Chain A
Amino acid sequence: MNHEMKNPVYVTDALISQDIDAYLLKHQHKTMLRFITCGSVDDGKSTLIGRLLYDSKMIFEDQLASLENDSKAVGTQGGEIDFALLVDGLAAEREQGITIDVAYRFFATDKRKFIVADTPGHEQYTRNMVTGASTADLAVILIDARQGVLTQTRRHSYLVNLLGIKNVVLAVNKMDLVDYSAERFYDIVADYSHFAKQIGMDSFLPIPISGLKGDNIVSHSDNMHWYQGPTLLGHLEEAPVSDTRMMDQPFRMAVQWVNRPNLDFRGFAGQVGAGMVRPGDAIRVLPSGKTTTVKSIVTYDGDLDLAVAGQSVTITFADEIDCSRGDVIVQADQPCEVADQFEATLVWMAEQEMLPGRPYLLKIGTQTVTATVTEPKYEVNVNTLEHLASKTLGLNAIGVVNISTDRPIPFEAYAQNPDLGGFILIDRMTNATVAAGMIHFALRRSQNIHWQALDVNREAHAALKNQKPAVVWFTGLSGSGKSTIANIVEKKLHALGKHTFLLDGDNIRHGLNRDLGFTDADRVENIRRVGEVARLMTDAGLIVLTAFISPFRSERQMVRDLMAPGEFVEVFVDTPLEVAEARDVKGLYKKARSGQLKNFTGIDSPYEQPQNAELTVNTVELTPEDAAERIVQYVLREMS
């Protein structure tokens, strides 16, 4: 076999020998990208990493000499250079039967320094992949062009997406073994696209390569003129790093350490997690909520007029307010949430399985609190993405759980800010890190707010209106007729002298809940808020009518549980999907069918029918007027 060694492009820069000062100046402005490579040994991962190290001249002559020797002795390339041997640390471990782990490798080009997290790809190493991915700006997912998208490709992609990596490269490797076929490449890309959509991966960049031969690694391949996109290294040099993404968000900094060298100085040291900060900015310290302004941003190199996400700084305040390690300093007018109960995804990393109810230590940002974990809502099969019922999580298992902490902590959803949404669980007895977690959202935030005793109580409010308060909760598909019927019901009740109020998508989504979208999490939060508002209104003695799709049983149950017994009337507006879709009053079904509208109930988001609704009105059999009349009769009968 004629093994052609392409001349590396990143050979020593001519500037080094001619003008070292100019070279150094140029290299001062290099940026840094951290990435993870995912793939098994068979996908040519080691060969690819070895190739990148080799082509960027990170291999010295003595290493090259031993590489050549080893290639002849134990290589798999028939005496030719076996790049895989360069990164064989992990292979050696495997033979010795010790920890299979994350190895970090380094190389640099003229534009960037790179840190590669190299992890084994098999299922039992989910823990290591998650570890490597946690700090990565980008992921390279390797596919063997002969094999196409395999189970492990799906697993790697799921994990990469779970860890929130936005920049994904699909490197279709070993193109030399499929005759550099464009057709083969595009088949694989189409296959992968389908899957990527399924797991909610927004985008990825496919590149056809050969790690062994060097095609499309550094320079464009002569064997694949049909491919016009960037080369692998070219893309790695241009892809945005996470810090840049975090700069666009409101300012956040977790306090690591209070610097108090003498009575005249009190500074709060930390690494800016998101956004930027300037002297004079109004800030808030969470969880206390106290506010002040930034007096100065202190560093060894002098005070700064600006600090951005990624920088380690020390901040001083204009006022003496309490602030200590674990607190989070945030932009005053855009604070993050504070809560003590969360839904989160957990990746279990210990041999000893998870014990629901056992107190673990939870480290998030710069603080450590005590936390308990519920039984998993479900476990995810990382190969098929199926949700499985489970009582616990074992080593390498991934599941969704509720977590409650012993005190309220400032946080953000992991997808928004990994710094304030990612956490680890530590076993209190062994001190081992047993799990990594990612917060989705907070649950039941109101629990810690203390009730003020009110002199004019709900009975007094209701008595004055001469009615019994209630919530009439309409649920059903979009276009089922909820709002129409609710409107008629309100008119009828109003005419009867009842004090009512109608909450519907239009007056809630545009105001109170305008920050929410239509993901499952947002839908849950949407309903939670509506439930809380409805409850306040019943406290005021009103009969509240609500018209929301409210697709999930658990949230409708949550609202029911909020209300006094007997004050919650669930009305199922029963309209078959075909009928609602045929009506399509707002043209939404059409949009959803064409893919313009995501997470649309009935189409690509589920609707869970009520099982014990107080009333069911079938809009195929009944006119809206008749349906409304039935509901009014029910209310008058049961609520008096």
Chain B
Amino acid sequence: MNSQSVIHTGGQVATLTHLQRLEAESIQIMREVVATADNPVMLYSVGKDSACMLHLAKKAFYPAPPPFPLLHVDTTWKFRAMYELRDRAAAAAGMELIVHHNPEAMEKGINPFDHGSLHTDMWKTDGLKQALTKFNFDVAFGGARRDEEKSRAKERVFSFRSANHRWDPKNQRPELWKLYNTRKGKGESIRVFPLSNWTELDIWQYIHLENIDIVPLYFSEPRPVVERDGLLIMVDDERFPLREGEVPMMKSVRFRTLGCYPLTGAVESNARTLPEVIQEMLLTTTSERQGRAIDHDQSASMEKKKQEGYF
């Protein structure tokens, strides 16, 4: 299916569909970055939003490959299936893949079982800052959407970060029309969110329509899980420390979001195809982020994380 072509018969041109309009907008944003940035990079987290963003990048610069590398800020605790897709997708796009591990977290053996929120802080938040500084990236694409969470509803498409990567909500620039002010001072950087106006359903529909390669974990399959604190956690490798009496059960589960496997809750499901996933999503009655442990402490936690430099 070619979502770019316009339906036209006998001189009558139809209005662009919502996905065509969103696609054109995202492409416009990406090109604006490439035309004005010194050293851009695309943050790639291997989730469905990243997959969508990567696909849009291929379209934006075709027939050239996207003129920037992919950066995966890894925690070493992602699902194995994510690492497989990551390497495959980067190669298919003809892009350089940079994988960054926070050396300090590596050395201290930071993990989600023993270190709680320190795990995210060190691997992801600190890791991202290290990588951006190390490679001197001035603009980083991220796959965040405004519909994900209340505090993101007001997020700019071009989000400015100080030289020490902090987000200052008081100092964001007004964005009019599609005129993005891409100027920045020495050491400052910009996070750019080309998917700002997409919703979860838009993403799924686009993946379906464009046949985009995504991690199979989004589809249901019998997988070994244990139940902890109300979440179904998949035992993805031998590093998973089972508690006393805990035995992994095989359940038909899938994931609505993907992160570090010990922190990501699965949902019981029979959705094995994309249409079935979309069907389940449309019929579902809980919002997307419920499966992520990070949000559960306090509703303002995302805002706080963002100010600290987490995406």
Could you say which residues of chain B place their CB within 8 Å of the CB of A128? 174
Are B16 and A104 interface neighbours, CB within 8 A? no
Could you say which residues of chain B place their CB within 8 Å of the CB of A423? 179
Could you say which residues of chain A place their CB within 8 Å of the CB of B286? 60-62
**Residue-wise interface mask of A (4-32) relative to B, using a CB-CB cutoff of 8 A (1 in contact, 0 not):** 00000000110011001101100111111
Could you say which residues of chain B place their CB within 8 Å of the CB of A301? 2-5, 59
Stretch from B112-120, B133-141, B147-155 that touches the partner: B147-155
Are B146 and A131 interface neighbours, CB within 8 A? no
Could you say which residues of chain A place their CB within 8 Å of the CB of B64? 259-261
A96 to chain B minimum Cβ distance, whole angstroms, is 9
Could you say which residues of chain A place their CB within 8 Å of the CB of B181? 363, 424, 426, 431-433
- CB within 8 Å for A103 and B153 given contacts A28-B205, A271-B178, A299-B4: yes
- The closest CB in chain B to the CB of A130 belongs to B176
Q: Which of A433-459 contact B (CB under 8 A)?
A: 433, 436
Could you say which residues of chain A place their CB within 8 Å of the CB of B175? 131
B21 within 8 A of A: yes
**Residue-wise interface mask of A (241-284) relative to B, using a CB-CB cutoff of 8 A (1 in contact, 0 not):** 10110010000000011011100010101110000100000000
Are B17 and A29 interface neighbours, CB within 8 A? yes
A228 within 8 A of B: no
Question: A275 to B116, alpha carbons, bound, how many Å?
Answer: 55
Question: A510 to B155, alpha carbons, bound, how many Å?
Answer: 52
A361 within 8 A of B: yes
B231 within 8 A of A: no
The size of the chain B interface, using a CB distance under 8 A, is 71
A354 within 8 A of B: no
B27 within 8 A of A: yes
A304 within 8 A of B: yes
A336 to chain B minimum Cβ distance, whole angstroms, is 17
B241 within 8 A of A: no
Question: A20 to B22, alpha carbons, bound, how many Å?
Answer: 22
B63 within 8 A of A: yes
A596 within 8 A of B: no
Are B176 and A436 interface neighbours, CB within 8 A? yes
8 Å CB contact of B177 from A61, A98, A134, A265 = A134
Are B177 and A312 interface neighbours, CB within 8 A? no
8 Å CB contact of A247 from B13, B24, B208, B290 = B13
A226 within 8 A of B: no
A460 to chain B minimum Cβ distance, whole angstroms, is 51
8 Å CB contact of A349 from B5, B146, B174 = B174
Are A256 and B176 interface neighbours, CB within 8 A? no
The size of the chain A interface, using a CB distance under 8 A, is 86
Count A-B pairs with CB separation below 8 Å. Answer: 205
8 Å CB contact of A30 from B4, B5, B18, B287 = B18
B282 within 8 A of A: yes
8 Å CB contact of B184 from A29, A257, A363, A431 = A431
Question: A436 to B209, alpha carbons, bound, how many Å?
Answer: 38
- The closest CB in chain A to the CB of B210 belongs to A301
8 Å CB contact of A424 from B31, B179, B282 = B179
**Residue-wise interface mask of B (19-52) relative to A, using a CB-CB cutoff of 8 A (1 in contact, 0 not):** 1111111011001101100000000000000000
A72 within 8 A of B: no
A565 within 8 A of B: no
- The closest CB in chain A to the CB of B151 belongs to A89
B60 within 8 A of A: yes
Question: A314 to B62, alpha carbons, bound, how many Å?
Answer: 8
Could you say which residues of chain B place their CB within 8 Å of the CB of A12? 282-283
B15 within 8 A of A: yes
Could you say which residues of chain B place their CB within 8 Å of the CB of A130? 174, 176
- The closest CB in chain B to the CB of A272 belongs to B24
A279 to chain B minimum Cβ distance, whole angstroms, is 14
Are B2 and A302 interface neighbours, CB within 8 A? yes
A99 within 8 A of B: yes
Question: A265 to B285, alpha carbons, bound, how many Å?
Answer: 50
The 3 A-B pairs with the shortest beta carbon distances in the complex, nearest first, are: A61-B285, A261-B64, A32-B18
Q: Which residues of B contact A (CB under 8 A)?
A: 2-6, 8, 13, 15-25, 27-28, 31-32, 34-35, 58-65, 146-147, 150-151, 153-154, 169-170, 172-179, 181, 183-185, 196-197, 199, 201-202, 205, 208-209, 275-276, 278-279, 282-287, 290
Q: Which residues of A contact B (CB under 8 A)?
A: 12-13, 16-17, 20-21, 23-24, 27-32, 60-63, 89-90, 93, 98-99, 101-106, 108, 112-113, 115, 118, 127-128, 130-131, 134-135, 240-241, 243-244, 247, 256-257, 259-261, 265, 267, 269-271, 276, 298-302, 304, 306-308, 310-314, 325, 349, 361, 363-364, 366, 418-419, 422-424, 426, 431-433, 436
CB-defined A-B contacts under 8 Å, sample of 26: A31-B16, A62-B290, A89-B153, A93-B154, A99-B169, A103-B153, A106-B197, A112-B18, A131-B175, A135-B178, A247-B13, A257-B34, A257-B35, A261-B63, A270-B31, A301-B2, A304-B5, A304-B6, A306-B6, A307-B6, A310-B16, A310-B21, A311-B20, A422-B176, A422-B177, A422-B179
